[in-house]
């Protein structure tokens, strides 16, 4: 069962991809930071520096994933067709 559902492409999400090297992902409601980090590292092959999670008012859950290497978020966003 996949923890990460899809990448978000809102204006704010694209902004932090470019400025802060962070990717915003929609995740399952039951997902933990460690599960998200492990799945992102396994699926995308890049070292994750930090994961922040937040619950949305609509009842969903988002994860903001920061990467160690500069430019990784932009590279992944273009592969995932976010930008």
| Overall domain count for the chain | 1
Please state, in angstroms and rounded to a whole number, the distance separating the CA atoms of residues 11 and 29. Answer: 23
The answer, as to whether pTM is greater than 0.85, is: yes
58-70 burial string, b = 16+ CB within 10 Å, else e?
eeebbbbbbbeee
Q: What is the secondary structure of 6-60 as a DSSP string?
A: EE---HHHHHHHHHH-EEEEEE-TT--HHHHHHHHHHHH---EEEEEEEE-TTS-
Instruction: Return the CATH number at 46.
Output: 3.30.70.330
pLDDT in tens, 47-68: 999 999 999 999 999 999 999 9
From the CA atom positions of the chain, what is the Rg in Å? 12
pLDDT at 83 over 90: no
Residue-number span of the structural domain to which 10 is assigned: 4-79
pLDDT at 36 over 80: yes
């Amino acid at each position: 069962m996949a923890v990460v559902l899809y990448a978000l492409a809102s204006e704010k999400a694209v902004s932090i991809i470019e400025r802060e090297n962070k990717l915003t992902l929609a995740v399952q409601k039951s997902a933990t930071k460690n599960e998200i980090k492990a799945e992102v590292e396994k699926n995308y092959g890049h070292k994750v520096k930090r994961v922040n999670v937040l619950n949305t008012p609509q009842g969903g859950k988002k994860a903001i994933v920061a990467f160690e290497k500069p430019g990784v978020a932009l590279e992944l966003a273009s592969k995932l067709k976010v930008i």
